[in-house]
Structure 1
Amino acid sequence: MADGAISATEKRGAMSLALVFALRMAGLFMIMPVLAIAARHLDGFSPLTVGVAIGAYGLTQAILQIPMGWLSDRIGRKPVIVGGLVVFAIGSVVAALSDSMTGIIVGRAIQGMGAIASAILALAADLSREEHRSKVMATIGMSIGVAFAASLIFGPALVQWLGLSGMFWLAAGFALLGILAVLLTVPKVSTHAPRGDVSASFGQFVRAIKNPQLLRLDFSIFSLHLLLTAEFVQFPSRLVRAGLSAGHHWFLYLPVMIGSFVLMVPMLILASKKNQQRGYFMLAIGLFLMASLLLLVSDSLVALIGSAVLFFTAFNYMEAALPAMLSSLAPAGQKGGSMGVYSTCQFIGAFIGGSVSGLILGHLGTSAVVVFSIVMIVLWSLAALGLKVQSGLKNYTIRYRRDCDSDRLVRQLGSLDGVLEAVIFPEEKTAYLKVNDKQFSLDNAQQLVQGGSL
């Protein structure tokens, strides 16, 4: 694990996997801002079926994310990723050929069955050294943000040209491009990252559920994606009523996304520099509340633009901040289990947000959907009050080949400057450390683990 610049293989792995992830997420996301308008001609159209269709992928993703990660441990990452993209393409074709909302819902659910996020992140970990893994993961994370922004901007314009079925055919094409990227551009790898970094065993899953700080982050990502799908159940129709035709929604989304990114980046920088992650976390929740209250008092185009800027500034901030907070709070050697629970909560939130808000919209109207969102925001803020953010902490993984006294080694590692927690898994020949990075020396820990002298 020699330190140094990120290698060409690591760069290639990061960029190619980011492309695969972006293509798949674009296929999911680009339907969200247009479905409530473009599906009006389909049999069975109602606010409830729109909501279920928007969030259907979340249910199947939540069910299959961890099993697909486990399967990638057994048969390899690439076969699982390619298989998942094939399933995603099949779901897209089912939706494209459908003339009813039932078919769209089934297609979206099948899309979600191609649950490859855990396998992609595991392969990213396999392709990167510990000291550069965060850069690789950040690249993939940014690709998701870019895919989401592009979907909001181009989706409303593309649906006017391609129609709703054409959007699903385009999603199938994205899946095929993703398969080509996996087969042709993702580097070959003959090793696996330690399981504690990427895999969620049942024991880790249970321990992650019992951790109150991690549970607060799990509820946060649940709430975040619930609010997102609830937003797209009611927001496109508000724009139409305000005088902005469906084909011109990108006129709003383009400046909104640019503005939200401009506002979000300083929040991330200031939160890190001033060690105020918790304060900016609560500020973002406050922005969600302000966005919802604005929708309650006015349906004017100006109010909708202001609400959208506030909403997506908060959303983009949370999407970037929550994974970093999870990495900081996850116990040493349990990152995989913690991420498994986190991802499951994310997709359950997407499904419940779409389904419940669609049901509310059909019976009580758009204002009731906003009230539902406000209730969730209040619950989220109450849950977040006990959040204790630990800044300056990092997780390191060191693998070794020699046989050693595990009890003695873990005591020695725990005595090093900056080490807050040390865990040894002898069967993996892996040491997991949680450290204060300002006081910790990775070189000293590596020398100790490899049998050198300090």
Structure 2
Amino acid sequence: MHDPHSERMSGSETRAASGLALVFAFRMLGMFMVLPVLATYGMDLAGATPVLIGLAIGAYGLTQAFLQIPFGVISDRIGRRPVIYVGLLIFAAGSVLAANADSIWGVIAGRVLQGAGAISAAVMALLSDLTREQHRTKAMAVIGMSIGLSFAVAMVAGPLLTRVFGLSGLFLATAGMALLGIAIVAWLVPRSVGPLHHRESELAREALGATLRHPDLLRLDLGIFVLHAILMASFVALPLALVQKAGLPKEQHWWVYLTALLVSFFAMIPFIIYGEKKRQMKRVLLGAVTVLLLCELFFWQFGGSLRTLVLGTVVFFTAFNLLEASLPSLISKVSPAGGKGTAMGVYSTSQFLGAALGGILGGWLFQHGGLGVVFLGCAALCALWLAFAVTMSEPPYVTSLRLPLSSVAVRDAGLVERLLAVAGVTDAVVVAEEAAIYIKLDTEQLDRTSLERLIEAAPARAEA
């Protein structure tokens, strides 16, 4: 047994975080590895047109968007593991279908089936079941890093694998990774006692209305929608620009993405530190969206040589990775107490819908106007996002906490009111069915230990 208040993650928590991070990483690798190669290699498939290539790039987002919340709800009923196993098997089946396709429609069908294995919500819920409150943010950060790393690896591994094994070999590799994910969940990830309900990691129906009416959450949802639409549309155009404009053979594209991702990873870190330490996240967000807009205009106007395309790609990925890392953090800050899981569910749905629209839009614009029109279309999307982002409020710099309550404290009608009167506490809600309280607090004004003392004193006050 481990000490419930220990400041170190236990062995089982470490195994849970690392195992589920690997599952996420393998699945995301399978999703992303096709991005840098589908626009170039996919044109050899029977029936391929730019519009259909774009649809193949973004198709996974359609089924992912519509099924990830239902899969999460089902996992509350029948357990996390069965849902994760079925989701990974569906993903593997989609990969095999795409691998055996000899036409673009077969690849599209495979990508749609890949997206139907929508296990994100179930994996995050299982992570919550297996980690203590004080380590949950740390565990989720491990998964966040694994997603970022898998994207970087995919940009390089996709072109290298396709060069050696072709598109079918690439899809078979993604099927293998899905099956490896099943083995990791079965043998590495510890067993949980059963689904625990955490509003910070799962959808709460009663919080959905407030989430969909929250102006700043909606601005962030629009942001991730546009960000992934631009990513997918850009991957219709960028690989083709490298071939057609810069004369770089498709087998050599990997070094462009490797350079861009390595430089961008280190370039974005100072901006993240500045935004958090100086409490200037809105300024960082607006700056990154502006840079993204300028990148698309740069591609449109100057993307005619290898040097300018590589330079533009490095700056593009710096802004993209900065926004990809910042937006979930902003969702956590802005969402009401006990509403983070619901807010993240809507946010993820927006992300996948953006990916679907971006692929289709990128292909359609390329087919009807060429590369320049794709970049202009992406710039227009950035301008739309910027217009909405400018009006957002500076986010509150708060941490979300979930603390268990005794049966007496749950019945204490004045607990929330007293906590809200404490400097540093910005929001609080008691959820009686979980015997827990969700709190948002500014850790520069109030630390966790002081807060726990206040809550532990609540039963005494309630009985007095």
Q: Shift in Å at residue 10 of structure 1? A: 1.7
Q: Shift in Å at residue 409 of structure 1? A: 2.3
Contact 1:222 1:348 in 2 (8 A): yes
Contact 1:16 1:181 in 2 (8 A): yes
Q: Shift in Å at residue 282 of structure 1? A: 1.0
Distance (Å, rounded) in 1 between the aligned partners of 2:205 and 2:407: 28
Contact 2:128 2:198 in 1 (8 A): no
- Quote the residue 2:343 is aligned against: 338
Q: Shift in Å at residue 92 of structure 1? A: 0.4
Q: Which of these residues, 269, 285, 299, is aligned with residue 265 of structure 1?
A: 269
Distance (Å, rounded) in 2 between the aligned partners of 1:26 and 1:2: 36
- Quote the residue 2:316 is aligned against: 311
Q: Which of these residues, 297, 303, 306, is aligned with residue 301 of structure 2?
A: 297
Q: Which of these residues, 23, 30, 43, is aligned with residue 46 of structure 2?
A: 43
Matched AA of 1:256: A
- Quote the residue 1:413 is aligned against: 419
- Quote the residue 1:98 is aligned against: 101
1:24 aligns with 2:38: no
Q: Shift in Å at residue 408 of structure 1? A: 2.3
Change (3 A) 1:3 1:325: farther
Where do residues 151-170 of structure 1 align in structure 2 (5 Å cutoff)? 151-170=154-173
Contact 1:406 1:424 in 2 (8 A): no
Deviating more after overlay: 112-121 vs 287-296: 287-296
User: Percent of aligned pairs with the same residue?
Assistant: 42
Distance (Å, rounded) in 2 between the aligned partners of 1:316 and 1:341: 21
Distance (Å, rounded) in 1 between the aligned partners of 2:380 and 2:364: 16
- Per-residue Cα deviation, 1:305-346 (whole angstroms, up to 9, x for no partner): 111011100111111111111100010011111011100000
Q: Shift in Å at residue 441 of structure 1? A: 3.4
Distance (Å, rounded) in 2 between the aligned partners of 1:319 and 1:208: 20
Matched AA of 2:262: I
Distance (Å, rounded) in 2 between the aligned partners of 1:437 and 1:56: 42
1:392 aligns with 2:397: yes
Contact 2:71 2:83 in 1 (8 A): yes
1:123 aligns with 2:126: yes
Distance (Å, rounded) in 2 between the aligned partners of 1:415 and 1:191: 36
Distance (Å, rounded) in 2 between the aligned partners of 1:105 and 1:62: 16
- Quote the residue 2:14 is aligned against: 11
Where do residues 358-377 of structure 1 align in structure 2 (5 Å cutoff)? 358-377=363-382
1:224 aligns with 2:227: yes
Distance (Å, rounded) in 1 between the aligned partners of 2:207 and 2:277: 32
1:427 aligns with 2:409: no
Query: What is the aligned-residue RMSD (CA, Å)?
Result: 1.5
Distance (Å, rounded) in 1 between the aligned partners of 2:6 and 2:187: 28
Distance (Å, rounded) in 2 between the aligned partners of 1:135 and 1:439: 21
Runs of 4 or more consecutive aligned structure 1 residues displaced over 4 Å after TM superposition: 450-454
Unaligned runs of 5+ in 1: none
Q: Shift in Å at residue 425 of structure 1? A: 1.3
Q: Shift in Å at residue 3 of structure 1? A: 4.7
- Per-residue Cα deviation, 1:17-64 (whole angstroms, up to 9, x for no partner): 110000000001001100011112211100000000000000100000
Matched AA of 1:443: T
Q: Shift in Å at residue 434 of structure 1? A: 1.0
Distance (Å, rounded) in 2 between the aligned partners of 1:49 and 1:371: 20
Contact 1:291 1:306 in 2 (8 A): no
- Per-residue Cα deviation, 1:220-274 (whole angstroms, up to 9, x for no partner): 1001100100110111011112111111101211111111111111111121222
Distance (Å, rounded) in 2 between the aligned partners of 1:193 and 1:282: 38
Distance (Å, rounded) in 1 between the aligned partners of 2:453 and 2:407: 12
Distance (Å, rounded) in 2 between the aligned partners of 1:325 and 1:389: 10
1:57 aligns with 2:63: no
Distance (Å, rounded) in 2 between the aligned partners of 1:45 and 1:401: 62
Distance (Å, rounded) in 2 between the aligned partners of 1:173 and 1:69: 24
TM-score, reference length from structure 2: 0.95
Distance (Å, rounded) in 2 between the aligned partners of 1:186 and 1:250: 33
Matched AA of 1:18: A
Distance (Å, rounded) in 1 between the aligned partners of 2:412 and 2:30: 47
Q: Which of these residues, 175, 198, 202, is aligned with residue 201 of structure 2?
A: 198
Matched AA of 1:300: S
Q: Shift in Å at residue 191 of structure 1? A: 5.0
Q: Aligned residue pairs: how many?
A: 454
Matched AA of 1:436: D
Distance (Å, rounded) in 1 between the aligned partners of 2:459 and 2:306: 67
Contact 1:447 1:453 in 2 (8 A): no
TM-score, reference length from structure 1: 0.97
- Per-residue Cα deviation, 1:44-98 (whole angstroms, up to 9, x for no partner): 1000000000000001000001001101111111111111000000000111111
Contact 1:77 1:119 in 2 (8 A): yes
Distance (Å, rounded) in 1 between the aligned partners of 2:119 and 2:383: 33
Distance (Å, rounded) in 2 between the aligned partners of 1:204 and 1:108: 32
